[in-house]
């Protein structure tokens, strides 16, 4: 069956960028505003699901060669390493800190170590969700 | 006065949701139900926007974008299923 979704594919090419930008914004706004790693990962996964729906499994795997199993594992490793890194400074496990840095383009910026933990949560959520969805969709009937 | 207008607008949106819900339950074909669920999602966006104006808060603005994304995605997925019987195709047919 030859079935071309020209409207859907053209709309997807624009919308995936908007949804990805929104998810990165949600990920980094999570320190002071609603948001964070979990919901940012879910929005990124929804952008990828939109790509998978508009195109197909083989095309998206060609343009985005990411092993989502390994992405989830790397996220857990990042989250654990930020916890153990606090032991090097002789404080308790998972102690978070923040500092103010004068960056050249952004001015006075607050850099928190909780962002790296959030990044681990983000990678884990994206990897787990996409592993579930792709393994269901490539299941033989 | 202002809160009364906001509550009236939310009441009208709720009536619209109830009418669309009638179409979801009663609708003769599956396509009617898909479109009714889509319109319920966009009415909920309006309710959340009015709620954030009433509570004078910026905290719900991300929710509005998120419901828009999810309503679009679910409608696309259901329509793709109705059209070809599969949501995510295995390989391209060229």
Provide DSSP, A20-54.
HHHHHHHHHHTTTSS--HHHHHHHHHHHHHHHHHH
- In whole angstroms, what is the distance from residue B94 CA to residue B92 CA? 6
Say which of A3, A15, A53 has its CB closest to residue B77. A53
| A54 contacts on B by Cβ (under 8 Å) | 76
Task: Enumerate residues 10 to 39 of chain B having a beta carbon within 8 A of any beta carbon in chain A.
Answer: none
Residues of chain A with pLDDT under 70: 1-3, 140-141
Q: Which of A56, A65, A61, A45 is nearest to A132 (CA)?
A: A45
**Does A59 contact B at CB distance below 8 Å?**
yes
Residues B62, A26: C-beta atoms closer than 8 Å: yes
pTM of the model: 0.88
| B48 contacts on A by Cβ (under 8 Å) | none
Give residue A31's pLDDT: 83
Tens of pLDDT, residues A77-92: 999 999 888 888 888 8
Give residue A105's pLDDT: 78
Give residue A87's pLDDT: 87
Residues B92, A58: C-beta atoms closer than 8 Å: yes
Neighbours of A108 (CB within 10 A): 8
């Amino acid at each position: 069956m030859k079935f071309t979704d020209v409207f859907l594919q053209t709309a997807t090419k624009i919308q995936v960028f908007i949804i990805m930008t929104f998810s990165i914004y949600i990920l980094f706004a999570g320190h002071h505003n609603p948001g964070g790693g979990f919901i940012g990962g879910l929005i990124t996964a929804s952008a990828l699901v939109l790509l998978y729906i508009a195109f197909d499994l083989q095309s998206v795997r060609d343009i985005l060669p990411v092993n989502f199993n390994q992405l989830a594992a790397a996220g857990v490793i990042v989250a654990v390493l930020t916890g153990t890194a606090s032991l090097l400074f002789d404080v308790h496990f998972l102690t978070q800190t923040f500092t103010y840095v004068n960056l050249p383009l952004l001015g006075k910026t607050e850099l928190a170590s909780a962002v790296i933990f959030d990044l681990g949560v983000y990678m884990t959520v994206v990897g787990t969700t996409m592993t579930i969805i792709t393994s269901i969709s490539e299941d033989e009937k | 006065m202002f809160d009364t207008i906001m509550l009236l607008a939310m009441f009208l949106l709720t009536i619209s949701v109830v009418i669309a819900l009638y179409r979801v339950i009663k609708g003769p074909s599956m396509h009617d139900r898909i479109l009714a669920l889509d319109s319920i999602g966009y009415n909920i966006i309006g309710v959340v926007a009015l709620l954030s104006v009433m509570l004078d808060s910026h905290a719900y603005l991300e929710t509005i974008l998120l419901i828009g994304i999810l309503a679009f995605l679910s409608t696309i997925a259901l329509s793709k299923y109705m059209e070809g019987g599969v949501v995510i195709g295995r390989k391209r047919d060229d």
